[in-house]
Structures are given as C-alpha cells and as structure tokens.
Amino acid sequence: MQTFGNPMLYHYLALGAALFTLGLIGFMVRRNMIMIFLSTEIMFQGIAINLIAFSRYWQNADGQSFVIFILTVAAAEASLALGLVVMLFRRRQTLNVDTWSEMQG
Amino acid sequence: MTTNINGMCPEIIMICGALIVMLMGLSRNDTVRRSTLGVAVASLILAFIAALRIGGIGTSAGWTLWPLATYDTLLASGVGILTILCSAGMPFGNEPEKPDRNYRGEYFALMLTSLAGVSMIGKTTNLIWLFLALELVSIPTYIMVATGRSNTPAQEAGIKYFFLGALSAAIYLFGFSYLYGFAGSTSYVAITAAFHAALATGHLPYVAIIGLIMVVIGIAYKIAAAPLHYYAPDVYQGAATPVTAFLSFAPKATGFFALIMVFNLTGWRLSGGTARVVPDLLIVLAVLTMFVGNVLALLQRNIKRMLAYSSISHSGYMLVGLAVGPFAAGNSPASGISATLFYLGGYSIMTVGAFAALTYMQGKSDAAEDLDDIAGIAGEHPFMAACMAVCLFSLIGMPGTIGFLGKLFIVQSALAGGHAVLAVLVVINAAIAAAYYLRIVAAMYIREPWSPFAVRQSTTLKAGALLGAVLTVFFGIFPALLFHQSNSSAAAVRSLVLNPPAGGIVEPVSRRATGRLLKSPLPAVAPTAAAISKP
C-alpha cells in the first residue's frame, strides 16, 4: 500500500474527525466569542469532509448536495452570530464570554 | 422525494403568513403593526384547517407516515396559536417615547417560520430535509431569545443558546454524515434498507452505531435532556416569558419528532449485540433527565427557572416512552410512541398555558420571576391565578387533567414493555415534582401579598391562559380527540417498521472490489453521470 498518492477512505474520515475534535476542544477552551464561533465552523468543516469522502466512496451526489446545504445554513448562522456578537460587544465592550454569566444556579 | 406538494400546504401557509407579517411589521402605522398578531393567528388557523383536510392525500414514495405528519402539523399550528396569544405586546421593553419601535412584527414572523419547521419534521423523507427542518426551528428561536426583551439577561441567554445550539447542530450533523456513510444515501428508504440488511446479519457496523449515538446526543440538546440540559435554566430565565413558553414547546416537539424519525430508520430493533448501546443510552438519558430536572427544580425560587427544570423532567417522562418503543402494548394508547406523542401534546398545552398566566403577572420589572412576585396574587386576580393553578395541577398529574392521562399512558407503556423499574421511577418523580408545583400554587393562594401587583392588561393574554387551562381540562376529560391522533401516528410507525419500503440498497463500485468499508481506496476516476444519478 502506498502511503501517499493513494488515500483511503479512512484517511479522510480521520481528517474529518480530527477537525471535528479540534473544533470541539476550541469550543470548550476559548473564551473569545468570535473564536468560539469559528470553532463551531471548524466542526462543520470536519463534517463536510466526512460527507464528501463518503460521497466519493459511494459514487453518488447525496453527500455533496448535503455539504452545499450545510454551507448555506452555516452562512446564515454566521450572519446571526456576528449580529449577536456586535450587540453584546456594544453592551460590555469586550468579547470575553466570562463577562456574560450573571445567571447561576 | 416525490412528496405531493399538497402535503406541504400548511407549511406554505405559515411561511406566507410569516412574509406578510414581516412586511406589515415595517409599516409606519401603529395599528397595522399591532394587527400582525391577528394575521399570525389567522395563518395558523388556516394551516390547522389545511392539515386536517389534506390528512390522507399526500404520498411520498415508499415512506408513508401521514398520520404522524398530520399530528405534527396539528400540534405545531394548534399550540402555535396558544404561544402567539401569550406573546401579545412582544417584544417587551418598549419605549413609549419612540412609538415607531413598539409592536414590531418580525417577532411573529420568526415564530411562524419556526413553527413551519416544527410542522415539517414529520414530513421529512431525507436526512438533508431533516437537517433543514431542525435548523428552521432553531435559527429563529436564537433571534427571539436575544431580542425578545432588551436587557442583559436576555442577551446572555441569546448568546448561550446560540452557541450551544450551533454545537448541537454540529454533533447531530456528524451523526448524519456517518449514517450517510453507512447507507450510501441520505434518503430514509435507503437507510432503512441498509439497517434492515445489517441487522439481519446480526452485526451493525460501528459507523452506524457511532452515527446514531451522535444524532441522539445532538437532538437530546434540543429536548434539554440531562446531561445536556445545563443551558435550559439560564435561557428560560433570561428570555422574555412568551419566548420561554415557545422554547418549552417548539424545540421539544421538534426533538421528539426527529428522534422518532431517526429511530424509524433503525426499525426500533436495536436489542442485539453492540447495537444494544443505543436503547440503553435512551434509558440512561430518561432516568437522568427525570431526576436532574425534578431534584434541581426543588432548589429554585425563580419561577421561570423552576419551570425550566420542570420542562427538563417532562422530557425525561417522554424519553421513557421512546425507550419502550412502538411494539409494547400493541394498538392502544399505551404503546411507547403513542404515549410519548400524547404526552407531548398534553405537555405543550399545559406548559404554554402556565407561561401565558405567568406573562400576565408582570411583577416588579417586566416579568414576574420570583415566588415573592406572585405571593397572594389570587386575591386580586383570581381568574389568572385559577388558570395558572389548573395548568400546574395538570403538570403535577392530578386526575381529571391531561397531565394525569399522559403519565398514566407512559407508566402503562413502561409496564407493558417490561421496564417495570422505569415505571416506578416515573411515579417517584411525579411525587417529587408535586412539591415544587405546589409551592407556586401555595404562594399564589396562601401567602399574603407584600407589594401591589403590576399586571399586563391584555385581553389576548387572558384568552391565551384561559384557552390553555380549558384545553388542559377538556382533553383530561375527553382525551379521545388527542389520543386518536397519537394512536394512529403510532400505528403508522408500527406498520412502516413491520413492512419497510422495498429497495434502495446502495452498492458502491469500490465495495464490490474490496468488501471493507473503511480500508477501501476512493475511486480514482471521476464518477460518470450515470453513477451520479441516484440508484
């Protein structure tokens, strides 16, 4: 088996899972709202890689069309995220999420 | 995916209503903006009628769950009317000196869009469609939480809800991508066939099991099941009370219908071998959710937080029905799915009714939150206190209300399905829950008022609370109308599972060559047009 030049399905799945995990870790450790949102975007990219790899494997276009829908929804979520972040920044002049924890219990 | 367009009629009506409401909300005329509420209610009534009339017409190739889809649409539009009645005067925090900023219409437009998503879940025939419907429900609710009232708790709730919502979407999408990888198609028919073939060999590939677990975890967030419930109390407390009412209904209904759709793919037969882990996960989620919700609710003094934990515990009861599955107790209201669907309908009505009454009690700032805010309110506002008390008694599960029948069916289904321990745990939890609901009732009726009450004088709100209370008792005494719907939905699920639609197995070129899913090389040549077209 050649290591390079002949990628297997699981190489792509490993990449997708790695991106997803990195995004998940970033989501939990980052405190900046924009970085947290970008972490979720990285998770979406990991999913997109999974879908495209499977799409190639099964030789049909379901996965690729799924990716296009995911990108569209992610764009809608991005615009919403920026709106929310701007709204919150105006109120507190900081992007740190730790300043937004009034409610406890 | 040849669904008859007639079948989408209710959703089309809701989206058209949303567009009209959004345009009217831009008007300079205050009266036009005020009337957006009426237009929203009218479009939901039309959607309700349309759902009743098209009940049996539509067909979708090989995948016929019309009773379930109809129940979903009736629930979305019916309870939707209640949630809109209880949002009279939204968004709160109006500035009287700036009349152009009062009575904005987009709130109702967002609500209608979200309800169209709820109503679409039951009609999905494809994972892509399911994903779009789930996001159509979620995205408007993020905006509703963040802008429903203009104070910092609402914005904090909005950002928490948004980020965790995006995370949950990523988790269930990861599951969807593995389910697609397992079956080779996103269509329900093909995935069902793949599960059927794999379960017949007694070995379900890990791809499918991991996919299912991720989907269940992602959707468990939507129904606020423990341990993914931690956002719910903050969001329920921070959002304006009508938005909280909407949140206690829409994402929950979406989540349960989506879970039913996903488990339909597996044929509800995951009892053998490694696949066992998925039903076990449901049982663990159900038990954790019931106890976490009820025990933490006991510690709260904030009513909205208390009702948030209560909504978590009710998710636990409904998960018990899901864990039992569609086969126990056969064709009676006590089969697991039927009990869950009945409970979902009943729970939505009673919880929205309670929130409508709570919205009416304005309290110190713009919403009654603390138990002190409503202490002794029964003396001054006996009508609303009575509506609230009826809904709370139903949430406890008093006989004569819909909550009692819901719990009865859940317990019966657990016993029939051989989960006697789950049945006992449901009963224990119902007893724990009585304590904190009765604290609210006691505060309203027994304690002395310590400050004058501010209430939101609105006939619409009163009508919403009255309708919630009346329906709670009406369906408690005449449940047949509701459980006819839930029962026929469960029967449709059973017949679909017992006679899965034929065909749809996808066989890739590369698997024929190697026989192993993960170790096979990706085909080097670009797929031909013939290969791209769906088998």
The phi and psi torsions of B361 (rounded to 5 degrees) equal -80, 105
Chain B contacts of A47, Cβ < 8 Å? 170, 173-174, 176-177
Count: domains in chain A: 1
| Residues of chain B numbered 382-421 and touching chain A (CB < 8 Å) | none
Cα B396 to chain centroid, rounded = 20
- Does the pLDDT at position B171 exceed 50? yes
Specify if A1 maps to a domain: no
B531 at interface of A, judged by CB pairs closer than 8 A: yes
> What are the chain A neighbours of B180 within 8 Å (beta carbons)?
51, 54, 62-63, 66
> Shortest Cα distance from B413 to chain A (angstroms)?
34
**Continuous segment of H or E residues that includes residue B3:** none
Average pLDDT over residues B324-353: 89
Least confident of A5-9, A83-87, B257-261, B518-522: B518-522
pTM for the complete prediction?
A: 0.93
Residue A40 belongs to some domain of the structure = yes
**pLDDT tens digit sequence for A77-90:** 999 999 999 999 99
Which string of DSSP letters, residue by residue, matches B451-488? SPPPB---HHHHHHHHHHHHHHHHHHH-THHHHHHHHH
Q: Is some CB atom of chain A closer than 8 A to the CB atom of B237?
A: yes
Identify whether the C-beta of residue B259 lies closer than 8 Å to the C-beta of residue B219: yes
Q: What is the pLDDT of residue B514?
A: 44
- Of A97-101, B91-95, B217-221, B505-509, least confident by mean pLDDT is B91-95
Which residues of chain B have a CB within 8 Å of the CB of A97? 159
In a domain, A2, yes or no: no
**pLDDT of B504 higher than 70:** no
Complex-level ipTM: 0.94
Q: Identify which has the larger pLDDT, B370 or B323.
A: B323
Residue B32 has pLDDT above 90, yes or no: no
pLDDT given for residue B201 in this prediction: 86
Of residues B360 and B5, the one with the higher pLDDT is B360
- The token duo for B454 is 């501010």
Contact B377, B456 (CB under 8 A): no
Return all residues near B228 (Cβ < 8 A) that are at least 6 apart: B168, B217, B220, B221
pLDDT at B523 over 70: no
On the question of pLDDT at A3 being above 90, the answer is no
Burial B509-521 (b: 16+ CB within 10 A, else e): ebeeeeeebbebb
Q: Average pLDDT, whole number, for chain B?
A: 86
**Of the partner residues B132, B181, B518, the one whose CB lies closest to the CB of residue A69:** B132
Give me the mean pLDDT over the B144-151 stretch.
85
The answer to the question of residue A76 being in a domain is: yes
pLDDT tens digits for range B260-269: 999 999 988 8
pLDDT-based confidence at B454, cuts 50/70/90? confident
State the best of A6, A39, A58, A104 to mutate against chain B, taking most chain B CBs within 10 Å. Answer: A58
Q: What is the per-residue pLDDT for B534? A: 43
Give chain B positions within 8 Å (CB) of A101. 156
pLDDT at B148: 81
- A15: in domain: yes
pLDDT tens digits for B175-212?
999 999 999 999 998 999 999 888 888 888 899 999 99
Which is nearest to A89 in space by CA: A80, A100, A78, A79?
A100
Contacts of B177 in chain A (CB under 8 A): 16, 47, 50-51, 54, 63, 66
Contact B517/A at CB under 8 A:
yes
How many Cα neighbours within 13 Å face the side chain of B335? 22
Task: Tell me whether residue A59 is in a domain.
Answer: yes
Instruction: Tell me which DSSP letter residue A8 carries.
Output: B
Question: What is the per-residue pLDDT across B309-324, written as a single tens digit (0 to 9) for each?
Answer: 999 999 999 999 999 9
Supply the range of the domain harboring residue A71: 11-94
Please indicate, yes or no, if residue A102 is contained in any of the structural domains.
no
Q: What pLDDT score was predicted for residue B529?
A: 46
**B367 and B359 Cβ atoms separated by less than 8 Å:** yes
Does residue A4 register a pLDDT over 60?
A: no
Average pLDDT on B58-74 reads 75
Q: Which of A42, A57, A77 is best to mutate for the B interface (most B CBs within 10 A)? A: A57
Give the residue from B143, B177, B230 with the most A CB atoms within 10 Å of its CB, the best one to mutate. Answer: B177
Residue B267 backbone dihedrals phi, psi, to 5 degrees? 75, 15
State the pLDDT at residue B524: 52
pLDDT tens by residue, A26-42: 999 999 999 999 999 99
Minimum mean pLDDT range among A5-9, B97-101, B203-207, B208-212 = B97-101
Query: How far apart are alpha carbons B108 and B87 in whole angstroms?
Result: 9
A54-63, A91-100, B150-159, B519-528: least confident range: B519-528
Whether B535 has its CB under 8 Å from any CB of chain A: the answer is yes
Inform me whether the pLDDT recorded for B358 exceeds 70.
Answer: yes
pLDDT value of position B528: 44
pLDDT digits (tens, 9 = 90+) for B372-420: 888 888 888 999 999 999 999 999 999 999 999 999 999 999 999 889 9
Percent of chain A with pLDDT over 90: 67
Q: Do B522 and A57 touch (CB under 8 A)?
A: yes
- Best of B173, B186, B506 to disrupt the A interface (most A CBs within 10 Å) is B173
The CATH number covering residue A43 comes to 1.10.287.3510
> What is the pLDDT confidence band of residue B10, given thresholds at 50, 70 and 90?
very high
Check: CB of residue B102 under 8 Å from CB of residue B33. Answer: yes
Q: Any CB–CB contact under 8 A between B143 and chain A?
A: yes
| Chain B residue numbers touching A66 (CB-CB < 8 A) | 127-128, 131, 176-177, 180, 186
Q: Give mean pLDDT, residues B222-242.
A: 91
Q: A99 lies in a domain?
A: no
**Residue B57 predicted with pLDDT over 70:** no
What is the average pLDDT across B362-367? 65
Chains A, B: CB pairs < 8 Å: 163
- pLDDT cut 90: percent of chain B above it: 58
